[in-house]
Amino acid sequence: MSAASHRLKCCPKPNNSTHALHVFNTSQLKQVLVGAPETRLTALDNGLRVASEETGHATCTVGLWISTGSRYESEKNNGAGFFLEHLAFKGTKKHPQTALEQQVESMGAHLSAYTSREHTAYYMKTLSKDLPKAVELLSEVVQNCSLSEAEIEQQRGVVLRELEEIGGNLQEVCLDLLHATAFQGTPLGHSVLGPSSNARTLTRQDLVDYINSHYKAPRMVLAAAGGVNHDELVDLAKTHFSGVSFEYEGDAVPVLSPCRFTGSEIRMRDDGLPLAHVAIAVEGASAASPDIVPLMVANSIIGSFDLTFGGGKNLSSRLARLAVEEKLCHSFQAFHSSYSDTGLFGIHFVADKHYIEDMMHWSQNAWSVMTGHAERAPKLYVVLSYENGHILHILNYGRRIPLAEWDARIDAVTPRLVRDICSKYIYDKCPAVVAVGPCEQLPDYNRVRSAMYWLSVVCLIHMYFYF
């Protein structure tokens, strides 16, 4: 495989859950806050927004983020966005695949893409001096993808093989099933990849219709960070993206259908597998909700754990310490996946079949502690969550939230606030539960549901005396 084909790749979709912790000190935080570059934002006449953060570095990252993904797809075309992601680098009307690869290779750049449930992105990492060429190539990839029938048929096989490979990733399977049951009957329940039946039947016209319906200027943000000049970036956007339409045929503007969370479960029992993957979640906050920061803090307190991490009684997470001492699981991670109008707040764990019931009990207990006497999270957790969503701020909020403002939001989170917000989302709620593998020992759903009530009652009693 050529170096260019290594650099032109489709990245795994990012997980917009936040479940890792960084350990920083106060002086490091101050340095980050002082050194945070200003975000400049300009809107073109067609509604496309241009955002930049200038650091003066010799390199930069520039990309186009679009408000579209599997949530905007129907049962018939689910997987179209993911299919397009694979076709994006197979040549444009101006640059055949080989020429496109040579262009990227000559710049020493990396051209990548990802698709999620609500967003699609195409971006390049390159030298700052090559910013004009990078924007030109991104424009070609997004607006003039060749979509030849021959290439579509070739990529169909690639997509089917990838679907088969991901089907062997039980964590991906578990979390996709969690969305499918939690948001059943709504487009948010669609997987990003789509079913294999669609991958076999999607036509060129299906892909063209998808682009024409969703690749609209007001739903796009051209963003760059590094050694970039904002005025230059705006001029480049005007040159290459002014022609992107802001009108819809027949004024048929795609509108997200209302989302509905359903407490429910899916069990895929397979006793031939060595370990069980289990996920439990309640409905979380939307990306723009003021509750998002307290839930992120709660999420960081529960934390994550993997046997390969090492450690034991000195781990900061109470659930992680229990996992080590009682050998409850091989790994777990708390997550909060946020979307435009809803979210999933939960825990995923991998455990031996004999420890599923115990791990489920202590996972729910970790939630109940949040509704009782939550503690303060590590301070610089804010940096991780901020970095994970820097471009999506503009799509979700219409602006880039300054790091100092994000830091102030974290400072405003008290143990009492974490308790109140967690009570709001967890107390006496019907969860969504998914288990894949040897999951016979997973408690009956009614027992899981009952535990949500009684554990919260116990901790409310504790909270009464604690506060």
Q: Which carries the bigger pLDDT value, residue 318 or residue 24?
A: 318
pLDDT tens digit sequence for 235-273 = 999 999 999 998 887 666 677 778 899 999 999 999 999
Q: Judge whether 325 counts as a catalytic residue.
A: no
> Is residue 248 helix, strand or coil?
coil
The widest CA-to-CA distance across the chain, in whole angstroms, is: 70
Give dist(CA 201, CA 194) in Å, integer: 12
Burial status of residue 153 (CB atoms within 10 A of its CB: 0-12, 13-18, 19 or more): exposed
Position of tokens 């009570």?
423
pLDDT band for position 309 (cuts 50, 70, 90): confident
Q: Which carries the bigger pLDDT value, residue 353 or residue 420?
A: 353
Res. 36: pLDDT tops 80: no
Instruction: Choose among 432, 458, 429, 428: nearest CA to 445.
Output: 432
Given 53, 54, 85, 101, the catalytic residue: 85
Judge contact between 106 and 95, C-beta under 8 A: no
pLDDT band for position 20 (cuts 50, 70, 90): very low
pLDDT band for position 392 (cuts 50, 70, 90): low
The share of the chain scoring above pLDDT 70, in percent, equals: 81
Give dist(CA 421, CA 371) in Å, integer: 8
Q: Which carries the bigger pLDDT value, residue 217 or residue 4?
A: 217
List the domains of the chain with CATH numbers: 8-28+35-251 (3.30.830.10), 264-377+413-466 (3.30.830.10)
Residue 118 has, within 13 A of its CA and on its CB side, a CA count of 19
Burial status of residue 166 (CB atoms within 10 A of its CB: 0-12, 13-18, 19 or more): middle
Judge contact between 107 and 95, C-beta under 8 A: no
The share of the chain scoring above pLDDT 90, in percent, equals: 61
One-letter amino acid for residue 322 of the chain = L
Res. 139: pLDDT tops 60: yes
Across the range 35-61, mean pLDDT stands at 90
Res. 137: pLDDT tops 80: yes
Give dist(CA 412, CA 455) in Å, integer: 27
Predicted local distance difference test score (pLDDT) of residue 458? 54
